[in-house]
Amino acid sequence: MFINLVMLLLVMFTRSPGPVSGQILRLGHCPSFSVLKDFEMDKYLGTWYQIERYFSFPGMGGKCWTQTYYPDPEVEGRFKLRMDYRDFVVENKMTTEMDIYQDMVDDPATLTSQLFSMPFTADDYQVLSTDYTNYAVEYRCEDRGLFQRRESLWILSRSPFPKSWVMKEAKSVVASLGLKMSSLRPVTQDCFLPHRGPYSNRPYQQQIKRNHFIPMYSRAATHEQQQKHKFIQLPKHHNFA
């Protein structure tokens, strides 16, 4: 509970859009990218896995970050974003929910996120590129003075372990826009591996019970057990000397 509260406060005070804010500082003003005028939010809905992003303090406390966009059940034309992740210590599942708006009619790919309907938490971010079924690139930039800007970038995939060509295509977008590739950091997604634990996922009846292990292989095994579990005699090697 304490970890979740700390993470939530970090999310709020870093003013993160959608995903937890990954931020780097760079010289110069925020670049202006052409908008995706044909962006379709309905196709963008669903679960995305964070694969790589810029460094973030909130991200240090969690792993296996996913973000799920879905329609607001109470307000037509509005959307919700649910962030799910696990803490590194005991892997408890944490969740943060945000409101998502499309306030710019001529720029549907610019989204506004807001926590708890509090206006001071509102932030804009862009979907720079997506094919809806494999990858997406989200970006946020904030001018921090005359000669400095703060950037956030996320590479998302529909799979926690995307194919190499998917990442190659997403990164080609990042590179073509002149964004800093060397600042990207991988996001751990090991929670979605097929098997996580000391024992295999075999049916229960195929597993050796602990209380059967000692009599089976100890010197005090019964004659019946010895006959059942005989050691295989290897053939003797001939002496060719």
Total of domains in the chain: 1
Task: Establish if 41 belongs to a structural domain.
Answer: yes
Q: Model confidence over 56-87: pLDDT tens digits?
A: 765 566 899 999 999 999 998 899 999 999 98
149-158, 184-193, 211-220, 227-236: range with lowest mean pLDDT: 211-220
User: Mean pLDDT over residues 215-232, rounded?
Assistant: 46
Task: Establish if 19 belongs to a structural domain.
Answer: yes
70-79, 158-167, 191-200, 209-218: range with lowest mean pLDDT: 209-218
Predicted local confidence at residue 60, as pLDDT: 65
pLDDT band at 235 (very low <50, low <70, confident <90, very high): very low
- Give me the CATH number covering residue 181: 2.40.128.20
Predicted local confidence at residue 102, as pLDDT: 92
Token pair 């240090």 is found at 60
pLDDT band at 162 (very low <50, low <70, confident <90, very high): very high
User: Mean pLDDT over residues 199-207, rounded?
Assistant: 45
Predicted local confidence at residue 40, as pLDDT: 96
Task: Establish if 154 belongs to a structural domain.
Answer: yes
Q: Which two tokens stand for residue 119?
A: 């206006």
What's the mean per-residue pLDDT of the chain? 77
Task: Establish if 71 belongs to a structural domain.
Answer: yes
Question: Residue 89: is its pLDDT beyond 50?
Answer: yes
pLDDT band at 198 (very low <50, low <70, confident <90, very high): low
Task: Establish if 13 belongs to a structural domain.
Answer: yes
pLDDT band at 195 (very low <50, low <70, confident <90, very high): low
Instruction: Give the integer Cα–Cα distance in Å for 214 and 219.
Output: 9
With beta carbons less than 8 A apart as the criterion, state whether 1 and 56 touch.
Answer: no
Q: Where are the beta strands (DSSP E) in 11-159?
A: 24-27, 46-54, 62-71, 79-87, 93-101, 110-114, 123-130, 135-143, 148-157
Residue 188 belongs to domain spanning = 2-192
Task: Establish if 227 belongs to a structural domain.
Answer: no
HSE toward the beta carbon, residue 54, CA cutoff 13 A: 21
Question: Residue 103: is its pLDDT beyond 70?
Answer: yes
Sequence letter at residue 41:
M
Instruction: Give the integer Cα–Cα distance in Å for 113 and 125.
Output: 8
Task: Establish if 235 belongs to a structural domain.
Answer: no
Task: Establish if 177 belongs to a structural domain.
Answer: yes
Q: Model confidence over 113-149: pLDDT tens digits?
A: 998 777 778 889 999 999 999 999 999 998 777 778 8
User: Mean pLDDT over residues 85-95, rounded?
Assistant: 85
Predicted local confidence at residue 218, as pLDDT: 38
User: Mean pLDDT over residues 156-180, rounded?
Assistant: 96
Predicted local confidence at residue 86, as pLDDT: 92
